[in-house]
A and B are shown apart, each in its own frame.
Chain A
Amino acid sequence: KQEVTQIPAALSVPEGENLVLNCSFTDSAIYNLQWFRQDPGKGLTSLLLIQSSQREQTSGRLNASLDKSSGRSTLYIAASQPGDSATYLCAPSGANNLFFGTGTRLTVIP
């Protein structure tokens, strides 16, 4: 069964800092990997989708990389802002499911 681990569990940084969130998964036979953000009490907002054949994907200040063979993905956030404060979840996909860890809770301090 796919196990997903995200490190660190929580992160607090000053505004403007660049940061990296890490995700590891145990089964490399994935279809794709999505990164989401979740605000307290809200649903998940899709940030980036990386297909299994891709190495990275970029959207604005966000860049996600995928190393399927080693079971790792990273989310790079450039020039962090207080509005980036949220929980970030990575989700590798199987045939009919997304698998989730417990996420990284990010706080950006003004």
Chain B
Amino acid sequence: DGGITQSPKYLFRKEGQNVTLSCEQNLNHDAMYWYRQDPGQGLRLIYYSQIVNDFQKGDIAEGYSVSREKKESFPLTVTSAQKNPTAFYLCASSQIGNTEAFFGQGTRLTVV
């Protein structure tokens, strides 16, 4: 099946830990995105990448890091510097230009 796969579905982080969320797509899309969703708020952009080995900060990049070593993969690391990491994280991809964006099923991260 073509699509975007996020793993794990649920993730628990202890205080001070870094954790990495996986996002893989087989749609041959150039652009990939990470969003954060909190209750009562719209999705907010964390990072995006339009090409391998290049990525840009979004609106709320502080405390997060990403890499884009392969076209298919765009992992997100939530570092210990992110003070309020509990949220629902969504990965998306699209072709460059005015094209449709597709989303994965999300990872729910909880700090314990």
Q: A residues bordering B, Cβ < 8 Å?
A: 4, 31-32, 34, 36, 41-46, 49, 51-52, 89, 91, 93, 96-103
Contact = CB atoms under 8 A, between A and B. Distances in A.
Nearest to B107: A43
Chain A CB count within 10 A is highest, among B31, B42, B48, B88, for B42
Interface of B is mostly: strand
Interface of B: 4, 6, 31, 33, 35, 40-45, 48, 50, 56, 58, 88, 90, 92, 97-106, 108
B103 A36 contact: yes
Contacts of B41: 102
A42 B45 contact: no
Nearest to A99: B42
5 contacts: A31-B97, A34-B100, A41-B88, A51-B98, A99-B42
A88 B33 CA distance: 20
